[in-house]
Amino acid sequence: MNPPTDPRYASHGPVTVDGVALDQGAVCNASALVPQAGLAGLFAALGLQLAGLRRVYLLGPTLGPGPLWMLGRAERLRPGALSHYPDLRTAAQLAAVSGVAPDQTLAPEAPGHGAASALVAAGMAVDRALFLAGLPGVALPTTPMEAPSRGLAGPLRLFLVGAGSAGTAFLVGLLAARWQLEIGELTVHLVDHDAVEPRNLNRCMVWDQGHLGSLKVHAVASTLATIAVGSGLRLTVGAERFDPEAASAFAPDVVVSAVDNYRARAEINAWATRNGKPLIEFGCSPFTARAEVCVPWRSACLRERLRVDELAQDEAREASGGCGRRADGAVVGSNMVAAGLGLWGLFALLRGDPPRGALLYDLLQGTRGVARPKAVCLCWEKG
């Protein structure tokens, strides 16, 4: 896809406010009314805050500890930017404040959707708000996918590669799901060698200006240390690129790839096939998101799905800019969708019914679904 040729993209361009790209964590004067106070609405509200909206009004009853936890997180991110109103009778009053007409709002969705569907729905809503509905004053319909099944058994050991916005959204989504899914003790080892830069600020939930210059894994660990209390999460971090020896020493049940380059994807895939470990991989462009669930001896690995080995070689020859180099505000939304699809894949894997084809989302086509699967490959045996 070549985004600049799309007329909707051309008419908006990269989202800027007063000449400052949203990439820099700018705040704009637009406000949004999110008529859904479940997990999907809260993730959407967080995404809109990250995208730079001045005020986000959340409307609807708050139910369950997941949304409560997310509300607390939102307040820590930007105090006062998110207001929650449980009483639907205040809709007209809110509409006057936010500039959104009451007839543009929708009734809240039924509660009970999982964190994966919430992240997907929220990312779609943020995408829609930023690029299709336009600013300012947007009301967001949200469209959760079907709820994932409950009752997943723990404990679970994850080796998570990539502490960028998609990787941390995945981790936050996993924590938000812990009240709904019976994951027992959750042990995560998170690795990333990058530091937090200004261009990262508008798309990651767990860091702010105070983390600039810090290693991403340290920013994630310090934030989660204050909000994951009582969650059963054991988080260790490594300030390094993917290291096969470190992965083997950790002995994960599942390896999760949330990286933005093919070299790392190829290395992670080689380790997973050699060691016979399930691999969840996800990524995005400004307008699309995708997740893969590779199961040893049951489905194709990333060599067949994404040609990771060839693309890693191409990448080495030419300077490549992944989504991490893009200034687009849309990455806020598609990152959330990618993380949600990855989480979706993890839950499907844990309940023994992983999708064999890629999970796909395309903002411009307005589509989402599962791609036709590739045949199972022999890489699992050869390593």
Contact footprint for Zn ion (CB under 5 A): 301, 303-304, 377, 379
Q: How far is the CB of 326 from Zn ion (least distance, A)?
A: 29
Burial class (CB within 10 angstroms; exposed 0-12, middle 13-18, buried 19+) of 117: buried
Give 15 or 301: the residue with its C-beta nearer to Zn ion: 301
Task: Round to whole Å and give the CA distance between 124 and 195.
Answer: 28
Q: How far is the CB of 351 from Zn ion (least distance, A)?
A: 24
Give 218 or 307: the residue with its C-beta nearer to Zn ion: 307
Return the residue matching tokens 């007409």: 101
What backbone phi and psi angles, to 5 degrees, belong to 178?
-70, -15
Q: How far is the CB of 93 from Zn ion (least distance, A)?
A: 58
Give 203 or 303: the residue with its C-beta nearer to Zn ion: 303
Contact status, residue 38 vs residue 63, Cβ threshold 8 Å: yes
Q: For residue 239, what are its two tokens? A: 């300030």
Give 317 or 382: the residue with its C-beta nearer to Zn ion: 382
Give me the torsion for CA of 55, 60, 65, 67, rounded to 10°: -40
Q: How far is the CB of 300 from Zn ion (least distance, A)?
A: 6
Task: Round to whole Å and give the CA distance between 199 and 242.
Answer: 23
Give 220 or 379: the residue with its C-beta nearer to Zn ion: 379
Q: How far is the CB of 301 from Zn ion (least distance, A)?
A: 3
Q: How far is the CB of 304 from Zn ion (least distance, A)?
A: 5
Enumerate long-range contacts of 9-13, CB under 8 Å, 24 or more apart.
9/131, 9/287, 9/364, 12/130, 12/131, 12/134
Give 293 or 377: the residue with its C-beta nearer to Zn ion: 377
